[in-house]
Amino acid sequence: MRSAGTVVDSRSKSELNSVKYWQWQFSGPPCPQVVSRRSHVRVETPKSLTLAVAGPMGHASVKDISLRGLCLSADVPFALASIHSLTLTLGRMTVSRRGRTIHCHRHPTEGWIVGLEFLDDPMRSGDCSIDDLVQEVAAGDVTFR
């Protein structure tokens, strides 16, 4: 006996499993782009945005930034959950924050890809806000992700 929610399909099991059936079933227009679950838009950063990480971290460059954190490529891996003092500079704007490593993985051509989330308010008085920096970056000729 079938339950009330069971859908009966007149096609045979072999027909449903055939490649031809699935090609037909999914040959329609492409699905719409999935909406990002991110709460903040990531902005690809210009080369003029520089990053200094306190300590012997080697070279690191910012790939993208949002109000919540940034992604960078680095020469060395960052330990997960490690805290770093960051200084971002774009023209005359300077932002100093602490950041926590939330992911780090090896990339075949770019060294290490590291995700850092911003932790607190400005470390130095007179620093710009992350919001000001992201707006300045977004005002330039950049692409959104």
What are 90-108's pLDDT values in tens digits?
A: 888 899 999 999 999 999 9
In the β-sheet with 83-90, what is the strand arrangement from edge to edge?
43-44, 60-65, 69-74, 111-118, 93-107, 83-90, 50-53
Please check the confidence at residue 129 and state whether its pLDDT lies above 50.
Answer: yes
The domain ranges of the chain are 43-139
Q: What is the mean pLDDT of the chain?
A: 75
Please check the confidence at residue 128 and state whether its pLDDT lies above 60.
Answer: yes
Tell me what the mean pLDDT of segment 21-43 comes to.
Answer: 50
pLDDT score, position 120: 78
Picking from 95, 55, 97, 48, the residue whose alpha carbon sits closest to that of residue 75 is 55
Give the CATH superfamily of 43-139: predicted glycosyltransferase like domains (2.40.10.220)
More confident residue, 107 or 121: 107
Name residues whose C-beta falls within 8 Å of residue 56's C-beta, 6 or more positions apart in sequence. Answer: none
pLDDT in tens, 45-55: 767 888 999 87
**Lowest mean pLDDT, pick from 12-26, 55-69, 92-106:** 12-26
